[in-house]
Amino acid sequence: MQELRWHPEALIREVDMKEDKLLELSADSMLTDAIAEVPVDTGTLQASLRREVDNQEKTCYVGSDLEYSVFVEYGTRNMAAQPYLRPAFDNMFGKADAMINQVSQI
């Protein structure tokens, strides 16, 4: 009897590598757009924006550790919201097809 044996380790590694690259591209896109969209007074908030990618957890973080960054994004009762992260997130999804195509070419 003939038997087909398949060892998917190489395929799994390739998919994992492409997922990691897609996370990197997504985080870079969001960071670039957030930097372009954030309101600038002193430039401190803009300079504090960063991104982190956790390839183990398949997550990325884009934002600032500054305490007041959330007030700029969502506003307060005394200050209108000036969103910069949500538009960057939405824009990233608009670029998703292009990023997926770019990763699939690797």
Domain-embedded: residue 21: yes
Predicted local distance difference test score (pLDDT) of residue 10: 81
Domain that holds residue 24: 12-104
In a domain, 72, yes or no: yes
Is 7 contained in some domain? no
- Which mean pLDDT values do the consecutive 10-residue runs of the chain (106 residues) have? 79 87 94 97 97 93 96 97 96 87 80
Quick check: is 86 in a domain?
yes
CB 62 within 8 Å of CB 84 = no
Predicted local distance difference test score (pLDDT) of residue 67? 96
**For residue 25, what pLDDT is reported?**
93
In a domain? residue 81 = yes
For 97, counting Cβ atoms within 10 Å of its Cβ (0-12 exposed, 13-18 middle, 19+ buried), the class is: exposed
What predicted TM-score, i.e. pTM, was given to this entire model? 0.83
The residue to which tokens 């305490």 are assigned: 67
User: Is 48 among the domain residues?
Assistant: yes
In a domain, 1, yes or no: no
Q: Ramachandran region of residue 24, left (φ > 0), alpha (ψ -120 to 50) or beta?
A: alpha
Residue 43: the pLDDT is 96
Say if 4 falls within a structural domain. no
Q: What's the pLDDT at 74?
A: 97
- Total structural domains within the chain: 1
